[in-house]
Structure 1
Amino acid sequence: MSQSNVPVWDDGQWTPLSALTGDVSADSCVIGLGGTGLTIIEELLRRDERVIGIDAGDVGAGAAGRNGGFLLAGAYDFYHDAVRKHGRERARAIHAATLAELPRIAAAAPGTVRFTGSRRLAADEWELDDCRAQLEAMRADGLACEWIEDALGVGLFLPADASFNPLARCRAMAVQARAEGARLFARTPVQEIVGTRVITPHGVVHCARVFVAVDGRLELLLPELIGRVRTARLQMLATAPTTECRIPCPMYYREGYEYWQQLPDGSVALGGFRDRAGESEWSTDAIPTEPVQGMLEDFLRSHIGVAAPVTHRWAACAGYTDTGLPIVEQVREGVWALGGYSGTGNVIGALAARAVVGAALDGDFFAVRTLLGENRRTES
């Protein structure tokens, strides 16, 4: 029997944080204790800031701890598409920045990252041609990419990418942040942000600046972003450990709509089919549904060839933008927003976190502009 809406990453060993009760003050308040929020906290602590972090759930309770566990270099778009949409200079800069960020993510959460590379598998003839176009563009810019054909499929191998346990990463970062003096609170939903006061059910955070670092449901916390970011539900399942297959690295299929990997214990984690469910998956409800779970299980059995029982089924909410570039900007005086990673926030989210701290504390917008291009309103 599968666990209901519990990600395969959860080992059940975490002690939940306490909720905020009473009024508190700090230099900065970070809303959202996922990878982005915790990276912001890490950066602020390095600057001797007094930091309070809050989350409506707990550490890694959103998409940051419930995703597929992929660490991929580059932007949301495949490299040749990023060059076409954003220009070669920006595409190369984003790719270089993400490559540099990967070892930092590994260092911040020792033991959670495996440098396995990743594969993009073609689902049809059109995608085979698209893979060739990506290979040509990456090689032209000196980026590591290989053509591969074997029993697992035909497509690309990207050796710089990695696999990781996203929830373990968040928890390790939270433990370190608390040890360095950050005050973190769970089960503390935000009711309203008034100026730079963060109002919650049982207390108010008084601070000089607010960082809203949530991906899914960002437009609910900051209504001014409605129309620029939209929340989607992403669904996954995982199996019991199995020796039926050997999957050496994270796999992307059908332009990334399906994705899977095999964990160190042999279990297989699989996600996808958001597009096949239509408008129903544009949702802020992070609950697995029978139609998508049925498609996932059919794909697991027929395409991947795994008969092991399903042990986990879960969902998460993630923000999408029309441009594929994230939201990283000051939306009100002293209030900064980060999100809209379009399902690929593990690395870009960390970059956005470092960029926004530089912009907010130093007035340095270079990294934000590199990430966003024309999708920014940073000086508003």
Structure 2
Amino acid sequence: MPVAYQPVWDDGSWTAFPPLQGPITTGTCVIGLGGTGLTVIEELLARGEAVVGLDAADVAAGAAGRNGGFLLAGTYDFYHDAVRKHGRDRALAIYQATLVEMQRIADAAPGTVRFVGSRRIAADDWEIGDCKAQMEAMQADGLACEWYDAADGVGLTFATDGAFNPLARCRVLAQKAVRGGAQLFSRSPATAVQGTRVETAQGTVHCDRVIVAIDGRLELLLPELIGRVRTARLQMLATAPTTEISVPAPMYYREGHEYWQQLPDGSIAIGGFRDQGGPSEWTCDATPTDTVQQLLESFVRTHLGVHAPITHRWAASAGYTESGLPVVEQVREGVWALGGYSGTGNVMGAVCGRAVVAAALDGDVAPVRVLLGEHWLPEVPAVTAPSLS
């Protein structure tokens, strides 16, 4: 029988951090121990900042450790669409920033990343034309993109993209953070958030500032973002190792609605069909459903031609925005929010994490403006003196 709700990435070897007990004082409290939150902690430690990190469940227990394991450059939109929506300069700057970040991710968590490229496969004639438009825009700006035509489909290949184990990456970052002096706590959901105080069921963090980095369910913790960020359920499954097909790089199909890769052991991990699951997929419930799981399994059997047993079924919650650009801002005095990556949090979340630390601690808003444009004018607090460890 498939492992219910457990992602294929989880080898069962991790020991969770203890919950927060009692009061604690620090410089910055980071809520969320996924890839974004752990990148924030990495940046804070590099500045000599005292840090406490909290997670409602455990390290990468949300979308950060339950996604498809793709490292893709750029925004939620394909590059030519991003140019149309956000302007060429910003689209190109974001793409270049994510290329740099992918290498940083690989360097920070050695052994978890494989730079094998990625492929966009067209589902119909219209999408073939859209792929040609994307290739033209990317090649005009010097970005790696080539036409792809093989037995498994027609579309594009992107040599600079990659695949990785998202859960292993976050666990490496968490262990490094603890060695660097951060205090991390699992099973400690925040019940109240202020700029100088975070309450949990059993403890309190007194701090100079709070950075909330949770993506899915962000609007529940910070109601100011209701209407701007909306949580969706993303579902996946995995097969036993197989030699029925060979998938050398992450693949995405039907404008990215379906996506799959073959892991080093031969397993196929695939997600998708959120759009065919109906309105009920806009939910904070991360429980897999029969409707979407059946669609995924049928695709594996008929489209991919894989008949290996299904070994894992799982889902995750991810935040989406209308623009496809993330939320990176100070929503209350001393409280910064990160999220709404629209399914691109592996790389974009890390870029946003570094940007928010530069804004919150250094008063440097340039990295955020790369993401959100020149009209982004937040109230940036004055840089505070270093806190006591």
CA distance in 2 between partners of 1:243 and 1:374 (Å): 50
**Contact 2:38 / 2:173 at 8 angstroms: preserved in 1?**
yes
Aligned to 1:110: 110
CA distance in 2 between partners of 1:148 and 1:212 (Å): 40
Q: What is the aligned-residue identity percentage?
A: 70
Quote the offset at 1:281 in angstroms. 0.3
Q: How does 1:194-213 map to 2 (within 5 A)?
A: 194-213=194-213
**Contact 2:260 / 2:271 at 8 angstroms: preserved in 1?**
yes
Aligned to 2:45: 45
Q: Kindly report structure 1 stretches of 4+ aligned residues shifted beyond 3 Å.
A: 374-377
**Contact 1:330 / 1:377 at 8 angstroms: preserved in 2?**
no
Quote the offset at 1:376 in angstroms. 4.5
Instruction: Name the amino acid aligned to 1:97.
Output: A
CA distance in 1 between partners of 2:101 and 2:375 (Å): 22
TM-score, normalised with respect to structure 1: 0.99
CA distance in 2 between partners of 1:152 and 1:163 (Å): 19
Instruction: Name the amino acid aligned to 1:5.
Output: Y
CA spacing shift, 1:375–1:61, aligned 2, 3 Å? farther
Is residue 67 of structure 1 aligned with residue 67 of structure 2? yes
Aligned length: 380
Q: How does 1:103-252 map to 2 (within 5 A)?
A: 103-252=103-252
CA distance in 1 between partners of 2:376 and 2:219 (Å): 16
CA distance in 1 between partners of 2:336 and 2:43 (Å): 15
Instruction: Name the amino acid aligned to 2:26.
Output: A
CA spacing shift, 1:280–1:187, aligned 2, 3 Å? same
Aligned to 2:268: 268
Quote the offset at 1:377 in angstroms. 5.7
Aligned to 1:352: 352
SS in structure 2 of the partner of residue 155 of structure 1: strand
SS in structure 1 of the partner of residue 52 of structure 2: strand
RMSD (Å) for aligned C-alpha atoms: 0.9
**Contact 2:148 / 2:154 at 8 angstroms: preserved in 1?**
yes
Q: How does 1:23-102 map to 2 (within 5 A)?
A: 23-102=23-102
Query: Which deviates further from its counterpart, 119-128 or 369-378?
Result: 369-378
Quote the offset at 1:197 in angstroms. 0.6
1:118-143 deviations in Å (ceiling 9; x for gaps): 00000001100000000000011111
Aligned to 2:364: 364
1:348-371 deviations in Å (ceiling 9; x for gaps): 100000000000011111110111
Aligned to 1:331: 331
CA spacing shift, 1:255–1:162, aligned 2, 3 Å? same
CA distance in 2 between partners of 1:286 and 1:373 (Å): 33
Instruction: Name the amino acid aligned to 1:362.
Output: D
CA distance in 2 between partners of 1:376 and 1:70 (Å): 29
TM-score, normalised with respect to structure 2: 0.97
Query: Which deviates further from its counterpart, 116-125 or 192-201?
Result: 192-201
Consecutive unaligned residues in structure 1, runs of 5 or more: none
Aligned to 1:254: 254
**Contact 2:195 / 2:210 at 8 angstroms: preserved in 1?**
no
Instruction: Name the amino acid aligned to 1:366.
Output: A
SS in structure 2 of the partner of residue 7 of structure 1: coil
1:194-253 deviations in Å (ceiling 9; x for gaps): 342100000110000000000100000000000000000000000000000000100010
Consecutive unaligned residues in structure 2, runs of 5 or more: 381-389
Instruction: Name the amino acid aligned to 2:207.
Output: C
CA distance in 2 between partners of 1:194 and 1:306 (Å): 50
Instruction: Name the amino acid aligned to 1:320.
Output: Y
1:314-360 deviations in Å (ceiling 9; x for gaps): 00000000000000000011100000000011001000000000000
CA distance in 2 between partners of 1:376 and 1:270 (Å): 37
SS in structure 1 of the partner of residue 49 of structure 2: coil
CA distance in 1 between partners of 2:257 and 2:137 (Å): 22
